[in-house]
Amino acid sequence: MFTGLRNTPLFVTLIGIAGLAMFVPAIHAFSRSDYDVSRPFLYTGTMLMFVVVLLVLAMGANKRGNRDRSHLLSIVGMFTVLPIILAIPFREALPSTNLFNSWWEMVSALTTTGGSLYDPARLAPSLHLWRAIVGWMGGYFMLVMAIAVLAPLRLGGFEVFFSGGPDGVADSAAFGINRRANVASAERIADYAAQLLPIYLALTFTLWIGLLICGDGALTAVIYAMSVISTSGISPNNGLAASGSGIWGEILIFLFLFPALSRRFWPGAKELRATQKLSRDPELRLALFLVFLVMAGLFIRHWIGAFEVHTETAFFPIISSLWGTMFTALSFLTTTGFESAFWEDARSWSGLGTPGLILAGLAVTGGGIATTAGGVRLLRVYALIRHGERELDRLVHPASVGGGGASARKLRRQGAFAAWIFFMLFAISIAVIITTISFYGLDFEPATIFTVSALSNTGPLTAIAGDFPLDWGALSTPVKTILAVAMILGRIETLAIIALFNPEFWRA
């Protein structure tokens, strides 16, 4: 399977994988005697396999370039062209929709955004399964490409590590990725794909079994398992409150969200990590601090309100509100976007009608670099925080020398500079998209929520961040197009897009 990645253009390989994946919902729908859903997936998957075989035979004799730039273009093509292919069986299985909406749905799933134009009851179970599979594949693809393509190009958050210095030379003594610089990028992709797939499958399978034991149905459990591991936030129903696993299912999901916080939990992490010790991992420490800060803030807010209004302080509401806040905060920090069944208890306890700004801030912060999570990423935020601390120290002690070693100093200087550039590009993107979709009649608050949700790849944010749930399906076609572009931009990241316009990037 992985040998083919070395000899076949990446985009052709992706089409073949998409064709193979279509047989899964085809078989599932056939087992349910839902032949109107099964046939489109079966026919499209078979057709794609024939097309891929013909392309491989036609291109096999041609010598191909094997540069990282071609694979960066393949990443762009995956999130723009491949969703059209993925949308064909979805459109045929759901005659009441059109190809544009089907394409938008596949863009949302493939970028692990998880927003949907359709009410869950409108889609057949096999279509929910297809959405989850597409999101699961999108998460796996980004895991592979982040370490195999973006890291050598110093993109995707790795520019914080590889900021180099005035000459732009990466510190190969601290990070071992340069040891593979002479390896063809296609071989790197095949190598990391082979390393990651068993772990990715094992985590998904383990969570699926755990949710089954906790009481979820087989289909619901596998959709939630794929959605959690890929941080796509795709749900076959109206959220965790409607599932049968209850509190134990939420605890399992909570534990399986941690791989989205740090590259350390995935194979190949030893080549790119900020610290040797797990206890000093900056991404994990910052993530735990943010979750605790949100939990403590909403909890203390209750006692502030108690000075004016008498409130109940029973034990169970305290525990349920703490858990609801902690789970939801971690879920949105990883850009998964699942809402705890106890989130309503947390909101009632805090006295805040809709603490959506907090959840939007967590989604913008995002998870770890080279993970399935989106957002600005924790390491960039950490670099900015450390730089701010150092600047405050210099205000008090101008002649002081910052400690922590060469890596820490580089993170506070060049790393913080690279992080600030990305953060400003992210903020500018938010401003431009809000302004653009506001021209089509959206008020400022809905426009902001939709924009942040799309750019941070946190689709469920629209249902919880505002005073009332927002509906993706109610948007006009131009607005949906702009937000689809925002999802792709948030997934690929602005710096990677800018790299395509750099003349140095295209020189031999």
Q: 287: pLDDT confidence band, cut at 50, 70 and 90?
A: very high
Residues with Cβ within 8 Å of 46's Cβ and at least 6 positions away in sequence, in order, are: 19
> What's the chain's Rg over C-alpha atoms?
23
Q: What is the mean pLDDT of residues 308-323?
A: 68
Query: Is 127's pLDDT higher than 80?
Result: yes
CA distance 54 to 383: 49
Mean pLDDT is lowest, of 178-192, 255-269, 346-360, 462-476, for: 178-192
Per-residue DSSP letter, 261? T
Residue 313 has pLDDT above 80, yes or no: no
Q: How far apart are CA 206 and CA 104, in angstroms?
A: 31
Burial of 352 (0-12, 13-18, 19+ CB in 10 A): middle
Confidence of residue 493 (pLDDT cuts 50, 70, 90): confident
33 or 162: which leads in pLDDT:
33
- pLDDT bracket for residue 149 (50, 70, 90): confident
**228, pLDDT greater than 90:** yes
- Token pair of 25 as six digits: 């919902």
Flag whether pLDDT at 491 surpasses 70. yes
- Once rounded to an integer, what is the mean pLDDT over residues 269-286? 75
Tens of pLDDT along 356-395? Answer: 788 999 999 998 888 899 889 988 898 888 888 877 877 8
> Residue 137 — pLDDT band, cuts 50, 70, 90?
very high
Confidence check: pLDDT of 65 > 60: no
pTM: 0.89
Residue 177 has pLDDT above 50, yes or no: no
pLDDT classification of 485: cutoffs 50, 70, 90: very high
- pLDDT for 61 equals 59
Condensed to tens digits (0 to 9), the pLDDT of residues 339-352 reads 988 887 777 766 66
Instruction: Give mean pLDDT, residues 131-138.
Output: 96
Per-residue pLDDT at 369:
86
Which of the four pLDDT bands, split at 50, 70 and 90, describes residue 259? Answer: very high
Q: Give 444 or 65, the one with higher predicted confidence.
A: 444
pLDDT at 179: 40
Hey, what amino acid is at 472? W
Q: Which helix (H) or strand (E) holds 264?
A: none
List Cα–Cα distances, 502 to 159, 169, 428, 429, 498, in angstroms: 16, 18, 20, 19, 7
- According to the model, what pLDDT value does residue 5 have? 45
Higher pLDDT, 166 or 460: 460
- In this prediction, residue 471 carries a pLDDT of 92
Q: Which of 173-182, 216-225, 303-312 has the highest mean pLDDT?
A: 216-225
On whether the CB atoms of residues 113 and 454 are closer than 8 A, the answer is yes
**What tokens does 250 get?**
């939420």
Residue 320 CA: distances (Å) to CA of 195, 256, 325, 403: 39, 20, 9, 42
| Greatest mean pLDDT among 192-206, 260-274, 298-312 | 192-206
Give percent of the chain with pLDDT exceeding 90. Answer: 46
Token pair in block for residue 108? 């949302």
Supply the mean pLDDT for the chain.
83
Q: What is the pLDDT of residue 352?
A: 63
The answer on pLDDT for 174 being more than 50 is: no
pLDDT at position 303 over 90: no
Q: What is the pLDDT of residue 353?
A: 61
Compute the average pLDDT of residues 410-427: 82
Write down the pLDDT at residue 12.
Answer: 87
Average pLDDT (52-60) is 80
Q: 430 vs 300, which has greater pLDDT?
A: 430
pLDDT of residue 56: 81
State residue 182's pLDDT score.
37
- Cβ within 8 Å of residue 24, ≥6 positions away: 129, 130, 133
Residues in contact with 204: Cβ distance below 8 Å, sequence separation at least 6, in sequence order: 136, 225, 226, 229
Is pLDDT at 420 greater than 90 in this prediction?
no
Higher pLDDT residue, 398 or 287?
A: 287
User: Quick check: 138 pLDDT over 70?
Assistant: yes
Residue 233 has a pLDDT of 92
DSSP-assigned letter for residue 146: I
